[in-house]
Amino acid sequence: MSSRRPLAAASFVLISALALAGCSTAESAPAAEEESSEASTVTYSWERNTAGEDEEPVYETETVEVPKDPKRIVAFEMATVDTIGALGGEVAGAPLDSVPEYLQDSLADDAFNAGTLFEADLIEIEAQQPDLIVIGGRSSGLYEDLSQIAPTIDLGIAGSYLETLERNVMFLGEVLGAEDEATEALAELETGIDEAKAATEEAGNGLAVIVSGGELSAMAPSDAEGGSANVRGGLLYDVFGVEPVVEDVASATHGEPISFEFLLEHDPDTLWIVDRDVATGEAEAGAAAQVLDNDIVKQTTASKNDAIVYLDPVAWYIVYGGIETTQLLIDDVMQIAE
């Protein structure tokens, strides 16, 4: 895996978050005359599903005034933990059991456990008196309860991966007073993604595969559809330009697990592997390699050319967002150029 590169100042063409139909937006709130910086806020809006768990989605615009320079932030969304730390801030509370090792430095020394990704410890959070709470993805359903404690916003996937990354990094940069750092970070990531795309173009076609419970599932391009699962599945294709070995991956697999024979039949130049069981703590590192260590896979072009690339499972399956994680994704893809 290539080494991390330091963030370097460079230009970055920003995609206006306001152009994202149905997605979150952030803009500076009008400031009252002579209002102190401590009292200033940023207005944040997003489309929130207000329907019940088994009901058809009903989206309504939610708008929250977010305090600038919040002293105590609770984050249930791991990409937010990532970006806050990368921009020089820290997270006061989070579902600590879900924070990956590489993001521990984003936590305050005395960070408290805010619950799980699905269930908040409301008593503990209220006792800690946070200034801002961030949810997203798995924790989006916690909004009603958490918004009674402190300003609560949803920074989950809305639009494409890159659109969401840019929107959230620039928004958190404004909230934390780290706008320059946010712009520099995005510029560095843009350069890295361009380099990774050049590498995948040289590597030929590919297939992204999730290994779980001894079975294989092919991931497919997201086709510009929103939603966390679609974005995650399409990361290699949509962000890094991998050419799918099958023209329509979703139709070819019917959403079902694929066989080892499927790999040999379609014979991608490169196999990109995410070990879900390692990501969720159900297996030790190397489990996917053991599953793929068989005579059928050894006949594939990817195996013969040593082009089976194992991706960081936590970054690609659990977090897949934020500044440091995106650099991890870039470094993983650049393995193909080594």
Torsion (CA) 310, 316, 321, 323 in degrees, nearest 10: -20
Strand order in 41-49's β-sheet?
Answer: 25-28, 41-49, 59-67
- pLDDT (0 to 100) of residue 253: 82
The answer for 115, left when phi > 0, alpha when psi is -120 to 50, beta otherwise, is left
Distance CA 211, CA 285 (A): 12
Q: What are phi and psi of 212, to 5 degrees?
A: -155, 130
Q: Tell me the β-bridge partners of 112.
A: 93
Kindly report which listed range (1-10, 85-94, 175-184, 250-259) carries the lowest average pLDDT score.
Answer: 1-10
pLDDT, mean over the chain: 88
Q: Is residue 225 very low, low, confident or very high in pLDDT (cuts 50, 70, 90)?
A: low
pLDDT digits (tens, 9 = 90+) for 160-197: 999 999 999 999 999 999 999 999 999 999 999 999 99
**CB proximity list for 232: less than 8 A, separation 6 or greater:** 219, 316, 317, 320
What percent of the chain stands above pLDDT 70?
Answer: 87
What percent of the chain stands above pLDDT 90?
Answer: 73
Domain boundaries, the chain: 25-155, 194-337
- Taking the alpha carbons at both ends of the chain, their separation in whole angstroms is 8
Q: Decide if pLDDT at 22 tops 60.
A: no
Kindly report which listed range (32-41, 125-134, 307-316) carries the lowest average pLDDT score.
Answer: 32-41
Q: Decide if pLDDT at 8 tops 70.
A: no
E-strand ranges in 87-196 read 91-94, 107-113, 132-135, 152-154
- pLDDT (0 to 100) of residue 29: 43
**CB proximity list for 223: less than 8 A, separation 6 or greater:** 230, 234
Q: Is residue 35 very low, low, confident or very high in pLDDT (cuts 50, 70, 90)?
A: very low
Kindly report which listed range (32-41, 119-128, 279-288) carries the lowest average pLDDT score.
Answer: 32-41
Task: Average the pLDDT over 219-239 and give the result.
Answer: 82
Q: Decide if pLDDT at 122 tops 70.
A: yes
Q: Decide if pLDDT at 248 tops 90.
A: no
- Residue 226 in tokens: 């929103």
Pairwise pLDDT comparison (35 vs 306), residue with the higher score: 306
- pLDDT (0 to 100) of residue 24: 44
**CB proximity list for 100: less than 8 A, separation 6 or greater:** 78, 314, 315, 318, 319
pTM: 0.86
pLDDT digits (tens, 9 = 90+) for 263-273: 999 999 999 99
- pLDDT (0 to 100) of residue 61: 95
Q: Decide if pLDDT at 251 tops 80.
A: yes
Q: Decide if pLDDT at 9 tops 60.
A: no
- pLDDT (0 to 100) of residue 224: 59
For domain 194-337, give its CATH number from 3.40.50.720, 3.50.50.60, 2.40.160.40, 3.40.50.1980. 3.40.50.1980
Q: What is the DSSP letter of 115?
A: B
- pLDDT (0 to 100) of residue 277: 94
Instruction: State how beta strands 308-310 and 243-244 pair.
Output: unpaired
CATH topology identical between 25-155 and 194-337: yes
Q: Is residue 120 very low, low, confident or very high in pLDDT (cuts 50, 70, 90)?
A: very high
Q: Is residue 46 very low, low, confident or very high in pLDDT (cuts 50, 70, 90)?
A: very high
Give CA separation, 233 vs 11, 24, 239, 272, in Å. 29, 21, 11, 12
- pLDDT (0 to 100) of residue 226: 59
Q: Cβ distance 310 to 289 under 8 Å?
A: yes
For domain 25-155, give its CATH number from 2.130.10.10, 3.40.1010.10, 3.40.50.1980, 3.40.50.300. 3.40.50.1980
pLDDT digits (tens, 9 = 90+) for 93-102: 999 999 999 9
**Ordered DSSP codes for 87-103:** TT--EEEE-GGGS-GGG
E-strand ranges in 98-214 read 107-113, 132-135, 152-154, 205-212
pLDDT digits (tens, 9 = 90+) for 67-80: 999 999 999 999 99
* Highest mean pLDDT, choosing among 22-26, 32-36, 199-203: 199-203
Distance CA 121, CA 100 (A): 20
